[in-house]
Amino acid sequence: MATPNVLILRAPGTNCDLETAFAFETAGAKTERVHVNRLLEEPNRFDRFQILCIPGGFSYGDDVAAGRILANQIIHHLSDAMARFKDAGKLILGICNGFQVLIRSGVLLDGNAEQGSPATLTWNDSGRYEDRWVRLGTDGTKCVFFKDVERMYLPVAHAEGKFVARDEATLNRLAAAGQLVLRYLPLDGGMAGAKRSAGWLGHSEAVPQATDILPFPDNPNGSQANVAGVCDATGRVLGLMPHPERHITRTQHPRWTRPETTQTGDGLKLFENAVAYFA
Amino acid sequence: MLWEVDIYPAQGQPNRLAEDATAGATDLGFPSSIDVEAAQGYLIQGNLRPEQVERIAAELLADPVVERTVIARVGDARLAQPPEGRPLLIHVLPKPGVTDPVAESALRAIADFDIPADAVRTFKKYWIGGLSDDDVTALVPKVLANDAVEQVIAGPLEFEHLEVGSPYEFQRVTVPLGELDDEALLKLSRQGQLFLSLAEMQTIQAHFRDLGRDPTDVELETLAQTWSEHCSHKTLAGRIRYRDENGETSYQNMLKETIFEATQQIRRAAGPDDDWCVSVFEDNAGVIRFDDYYNVVFKVETHNHPSALEPYGGANTGIGGVIRDPMGTGMGAKPICNTDVFCFAPPDTPADEIPQGVLHPRRVMRGVVHGVRDYGNRMGIPTVNGAVFFDRRYLGNPLVYCGNVGLIPHDQSFKNPQPGDLAVALGGRTGRDGIHGATFSSAELTHQSDELSGGAVQIGNAITEKMLLDVLLVARDRGLYHAVTDCGAGGFSSAVGEMGEKIGAEVWLDRAPVKYEGLSYTEIWISEAQERMVVAVGEAQWDQLSALCASEGVEATVIGRFVPTGRLQLKYGDHEVADLSMDFLHDGRPPVVREATYAPPPVVEFPLPANDTEGYTDSLQEILGSLNVASKHSIIRQYDHEVQGGSVVKPLVGSNNDGPGDAAVLRPVLDSPRGIVIACGMNPCYGDFDTYHMAASAIDEAVRNCVAVGADPARIAILDNFCWGNTDRPETLGSLVRAARACHDLSIALGTPFISGKDSLNNEFRPEDADEPISIPSSLLISAIGQVNDVARCVTMDLKTPGNRLYLVGLTKNELGGSHFAQVESLAGGRVPTVDAPMAKQTFAALHRAIDAGLVRACHDLSEGGLAVAAAEMAFAGGCGLRISLDRAPASDGASHPAVLLFSESNTRLLCEVRPDDAHAFEMALAGVPHAVIGQVVDEPTLRIVPGDDAAPLIEADIETLKQTWRKPLAW
């Protein structure tokens, strides 16, 4: 199949759906924005899509906690349809609020009854919402979305994006499995940070220690191990806090009027990879 | 049964609620011994088993990775176990009836568990140690709770039910006006919070005497609301006799004869083919042409009085309300960006100087910023432009201006309600929130305002509005209604009253969905509950609209019908409670007749400092570190300024993304290169000298900010927002009329039409022990919306490349009056900046040609702090140094003093960075406009300004030091 169909999931408070659809279409996909109520009425609607994207926003106002209410609906009403989608070898992408939903619903990282969720996204160390650009590095080749991507420059815009694992063992396990696929890098170009963190920039064996956490604003929220994005064990489900759909064209770059910038946005490749996966 | 779930951070996690309380307390001078533990909590009512509540807590309410819970029935001793050393327990809950969005969402989510909860309410719980009981008593209202919207319970919670209202028993209320004398009429107006004048009360009395009956309470309320200053702008659109040093002018309608007239003149001059104004001063927002398919709409509102009482809720609903203006313009525009401008007292005002009934400016500022942030971000609308001004006179009366721009197809730009259409309420439910907002916003604040008018404060729920927006745009494109308008001040009363003005309307108040029982028909009619709009729907459209709304969980309810009676008739069940003629309602108000005088203060020549040898580096540092100039990055970064993906020039620009951009640029249509430019201009300091020049300067500033990033000056439209003191005083009204005359003159001279505006009068505060109220400075905000054909031609203000030349465009005059230099040097007097309007028009056109031809690498406007500040900002934003020599700067006679050249705030001036290869072409483009090369971009990271070659520097400073001075003051 040449042109994958992308389901852009909409819920009350979703607000990055249009530009996310635009990014997928620029990358060559077909998109349809579907309200969660339509899926609740008819979970089989999932089946005719190849990619599911939960875009950014404030689903249900982020009331109680970011992404919690939509995650709750997925757990209670859509978990079978979601599992079927995943098992069919399709792709799932959660951006910002979508990442929060994927992690809280257990779609991204399986939990178990005794121990609960392996990780969470909690309040930024700054205690508030912030919109700023970050430098990112990918780790390993596991994730479909990051094929041939090493570095990206993207904006984050969130209040609850600090990645915290349940315990150190869980963090180690995720790192060893290559699932901590996207990390914040120093804004100065990555040299200082790259040296210090050589262990986890390659195929990681060494688990980052707490002392490796980059200072604000390199790591904008205080995430453990500087984690900005996580994939599941298959590499086909990705959640990330930064917004790739906000860096598709040159003029979205905060310094496009300066000599140093490039012609296309770093975020486009992620969507192109998703489309190419079905080529 | 009532369950309580307390949620604390887990071991090792920060307790932000406690940290915020501690920081707020120590900010206000409470002892640093304060020790706080805090929890977020939920009260859940329902017949629930313990394991059900535990499940809800574990799977929904708390995050087990980072939080722990305490769960018990209300009253259980486990909930009242104080943590070590923190014995005092304070609960803070939203008052019954105040919007509690988290509780509403939690209740719906609990339903997904198939667990039968009846009601949910949130609260905050504080355990406090290290303070005396008296200190805690003082702390609660100052830091922990706001009496306007929250209730405080000391000690354990003891109630057994959550209050959900009690049934309403209909009772028709009439107000006996017939026999009242003037004094009694005024008393009724005041005590009933109608805020009508004696002449207005007499007119109403006479009207009902003619009808042979007394009005009902809801008729009186409807008249008071429709005739309020907020809704009818009766003072500025009224008769005014104005006198100043040039003579006397009598206006029949002041706004129409000044500001509107300027726009009409510009439109006439353009002729029908080139007129790009579409709908001005008519609809909820001004509408102008954007491209072949779309128009853009722009509206700026203020929400000052509610923000003074409850900064978070006031600002929250301020932005929420102004977003509904574009949504309610034409057939509904899609909001594409927000603006916000605030005026506060200095945040370092000592706590013991705060009058009773006034919140500390630091708390006001935090609350307002968070209010705008939480609503704008949730709506998914980028907040791209703004400003913050500080002046002590804003202490009791902060100003909160919120703006919104929308995008609308040409063929959807006008509404057309039809006789017979159904009046349909969309969105949120009606509650008791915001009663009397329209009349209250037209009154002077006193230290008792928080007690009298707490009901006027609303709390918003952005997601309700986002859901409403989502269905509205779909319904618009499917043609499912004939007209739409927002419920703003006055609620249904203003929405239905305005939409049915030319037809007539009948409203069935008992059908309006309410948040809880017990609302009277009058409360339903005038409630200003947020997130509601009214659409006029044909019978044939209703089924489809109803189904669409239901499919996305948006409530749509028929509450009436537009019937061709020319009357406004309200019913509750079978009872008629109002029957007013639309004519009397909209045209019956007696004209307001006012005197206005203005005497400009005499010009006191500025005592220029002697040519000292110490230079001006310290003055520059002081200005950069002054609150009005200092970086607002800590506010800007809390706003999502990039959502919707159209961001082109962000509020912060430069090599480290932290320089102060002149204007925002965005691309509202993602596959088109056309851009919108948003900027503003305001300088209350100049108003103390002459409000004419203040207004002229604000317009020049707003326009030059747009031009600086690349906007075409022939396509810039502007908005006026007047915030003034009590215009009953002829000299206060005179200062406003004088500003409006400047608006007229500059608008025509620059070819820049006004398309919308709003005024907020009576911004005064009367402290308890004072005879004289404190009035705000005359505060005219000019908001500008410009356009660019191709955003790739835009420029930013940061220096780009060493070796390039720096040009100063525009003439420097001896205009240090009201300047930041005068403020930091404590110098009184001087000449206030003026505008040479024909030269301004020529300058903007010439500079635009140069920018459009790609000849300008960086461009920055000169405003607060003049040349020195603009040069410093360009340098540290670009990470390059600058060498400047003042001797070639274009200057008028008497402006050769270095302090004038460095710090004068003369208008229509900009700095441009130009490549040496482009210098000739740039100079050709600027022919006829004062300009000169005054310096060069250099590698070495210092700003060095000399009076002439080989002279000792007047300013020499490391750019990083300058940047830190500028970044630091508001970095909190």
Q: Residue A202's pLDDT is what?
A: 38
Total domains in chain A come to 1
Percent of chain B with pLDDT over 90: 83
Among B759, B756, B649, B751, which Cα is nearest to B709's?
B649
pLDDT digits (tens, 9 = 90+) for A198-255: 333 333 434 444 458 999 999 999 999 999 999 999 999 999 999 999 999 999 999 9
Which of A31, A64, A77, A241 has the most B C-beta neighbours within 10 Å, making it the best mutation to test the interface with B? A64
Name the amino acid, one letter, at B840.
A
What is the rounded CA–CA span in Å between residue B29 and residue B25?
A: 7
- Which pLDDT score is estimated for A140? 84
Average pLDDT over residues B8-16: 94
pLDDT at B957: 97
Q: Among partner residues A22, A38, A60, which is closest to B645 by beta-carbon distance?
A: A22
d(CA B132, CA B123): 24
Query: Is the Cβ–Cβ distance between B917 and B803 less than 8 Å?
Result: no
Which range of residues forms the domain containing residue A142? 5-276
Q: How far is A54 from chain B (nearest CA, A)?
A: 15
- pLDDT, residue B262, reads 98
Pairwise CA distance, residues B632 & B651, whole Å: 10
Strand A5-10 and strand A51-54: the pairing is: parallel
A131–B639 CB contact, under 8 Å: yes
| The one-letter amino acid at B426 | L
Q: Which residues of B are less than 8 Å from A132 in CB distance?
A: 637, 657
Interaxial angle between packed helices B462-477 and B361-379, expressed in degrees from 0 to 180 and rounded to the nearest 10: 40
Q: Domain spanning B211-252+415-589: which CATH class is it, in words?
A: alpha beta
Per-residue pLDDT tens over the stretch A93-105:
999 999 999 999 9
As a whole number of angstroms, the distance between CA B362 and CA B390 comes to 11
CA distance B43 to B6: 9
Q: How far apart are CA B581 and CA B500, in angstroms?
A: 11
Residue B707: is its pLDDT beyond 80?
Answer: yes
- CA–CA dist A136, A227 (Å, integer): 10
Pairing state between β B117-129 and B942-946: unpaired
Say which residue, B353 or A181, is predicted with more confidence: A181
- Residue B137: which residues within 8 A CB-CB, separation 6 or more? none
Name which of B8, B15, B17, B65 to mutate to probe chain A: the one with the most chain A Cβ atoms within 10 A of its Cβ: B65
Q: Is the pLDDT of residue B164 over 70?
A: no
Nearest CA in chain B to A122: B66
* Least CB–CB distance from A257: residue in B112, B642, B795: B795
Per-residue pLDDT band for A42 (boundaries 50, 70, 90) equals very high
Neighbours of B293 (CB within 10 A): 11
Nearest Cα to Cα of residue B3 among B40, B39, B43, B41: B43
The DSSP element (H or E) to which B207 belongs, if any, is helix B198-211
- How far is A42 from chain B, CA to nearest CA, in Å? 13
* pLDDT, mean of residues B181-191: 93
Segments of B511-645 assigned E as strands: 532-537, 556-561, 567-572, 575-581, 593-597
The beta-carbon neighbor of B644 closest among A19, A35, A259 is A19
Burial class (CB in 10 A: 0-12, 13-18, 19+), B248: exposed
B578 touches B567 (CB < 8 A): no
- Across the interface, of B14, B642, B796, the residue whose CB is closest to A257 is B796
Mean pLDDT in chain B?
93
Contact residues, chain B, for A250 at CB < 8 Å: 792
A88-92, A136-140, A199-203, B177-181: the lowest-pLDDT one:
A199-203
Residues of A in contact with B800 (CB under 8 A): 257-259
Q: Which pLDDT value is given to residue B453?
A: 45
- Nearest chain A residue to B549 by CA distance is A37
Q: Which three-class secondary structure string do you get for B129-157? A: ECCCHHHHHHHHHHHHCCCCCEEEEECCC
Which of A12, A19, A157 faces B640 most closely, judged by CB atoms? A157
CB B898 within 8 A of CB B886: yes
Is some CB atom of chain A closer than 8 A to the CB atom of B60? Answer: yes
Q: Do A117 and B113 touch (CB under 8 A)?
A: no
Mean pLDDT, residues B745-759 taken together:
97
User: Is it true that the peptide bond before A217 is cis, omega within 30 degrees of 0?
Assistant: yes
Catalytic residues of B, by residue number, are 230, 303
User: To which residue do tokens 């205009």 refer?
Assistant: B815
The pLDDT of residue B14: 94
Residues 358-397 of B with CB under 8 A from A: 373, 377-380
Residue B704 has pLDDT above 90, yes or no: yes
CA distances (Å), B649 to each of A98, B632, B663, B857, B935, in order? 27, 16, 7, 14, 26
Question: What CATH number does the domain containing A40 carry?
Answer: 3.40.50.880
Is the CB of B815 inside 8 Å of chain A's CB atoms?
no
Helix locations, B552-690, DSSP H: 582-587, 617-624, 633-636, 684-687
Architecture of domain B2-154: 2-Layer Sandwich (3.30)
* Most B CBs within 10 Å, among A9, A117, A251, to test the B interface: A251
Q: Where are the domains of chain B?
A: 2-154, 211-252+415-589
Q: Does B657 touch chain A (CB under 8 A)?
A: yes
pLDDT of residue A75: 94
- Chain A contact present for B354, CB below 8 A: no
Q: In 3D, which of B346, B333, B348, B481 has the Cα closest to residue B421?
A: B481
B826 Cα to chain A: minimum distance (Å): 37
Q: B898-924 pLDDT, tens per residue?
A: 999 999 999 999 999 999 999 999 999
Q: Which tokens belong to A127?
A: 């205690």
Predicted local distance difference test score (pLDDT) of residue B445: 56
C-alpha to C-alpha distance for A91 and A83, rounded to whole angstroms: 12
Measuring CA to CA, how many Å separate B936 from each of A94, B880, B933, B945?
48, 10, 8, 11
- Catalytic center residues of A: 96, 243, 245
* CA atoms of B909 and B700, how far apart (whole Å): 10
Q: What is the pLDDT of residue B517?
A: 83
In eight-state DSSP terms, residue B904 is -
Whether the ipTM is more than 0.90: the answer is yes
Checking DSSP bridges between strand B575-581 and strand B277-279, what pairing results, if any? unpaired
pLDDT, one tens digit per residue, over B807-856 is: 999 999 999 999 999 999 999 899 999 999 999 999 999 999 999 999 99
Only one residue has tokens 């909160």, namely: B400
Condensed to tens digits (0 to 9), the pLDDT of residues B87-140 reads 999 999 988 777 888 999 999 999 999 999 999 999 999 999 999 999 999 899
The Cα B862–Cα B809 span in angstroms is 10
Distance of alpha carbon B402 from alpha carbon B301, whole angstroms: 5
DSSP H helical segments within A128-236, as ranges? 168-176, 191-196, 198-201
Whether A263 has a pLDDT exceeding 70, the answer reads yes
Q: How confident is the model over B147-176, as a mean pLDDT?
A: 86
B484: closest CA among B417, B554, B406, B407?
Answer: B417
For residues A9 and A52, the answer to whether their CB atoms sit within 8 Å is yes
The pLDDT assigned to B121 comes to: 93
Q: Where are the alpha helices (DSSP H) in B296-341?
A: 304-309, 311-327
Pairing mode, strands B858-861 and B764-766: unpaired
- Measured at the CA of B426, the angle between CA B428 and CA A158, to 5 degrees, comes to 55
- Specify the range with the lowest mean pLDDT, choosing from B70-79, B453-462, B505-514, B883-892: B453-462
**Which pLDDT tens digit goes with each residue over B593-636?**
999 999 988 988 888 877 666 789 999 999 999 999 999 999 99
Residue A197 pLDDT: 39
Q: Nearest Cβ partner of A15 from B102, B380, B650?
A: B380
The sign of the CA dihedral B874, B878, B879, B880 is negative
Chain A and chain B share a number of CB contacts under 8 A equal to 167
Which chain A residues are closer than 8 Å to B551 by Cβ? Answer: 35, 37-38
CA distance A206 to chain B (A): 24
Q: Which residues of A157-187 are buried (b: 16+ CB within 10 A; e: fewer)?
A: bbbbbbbbbbeeebbbebbeebbbbbbbbbb
Q: pLDDT at position B700, please?
A: 98
Q: CB of B634 within 8 Å of any CB in chain A?
A: no
**Which of B61, B108, B670 has the most A C-beta neighbours within 10 Å, making it the best mutation to test the interface with A?**
B670
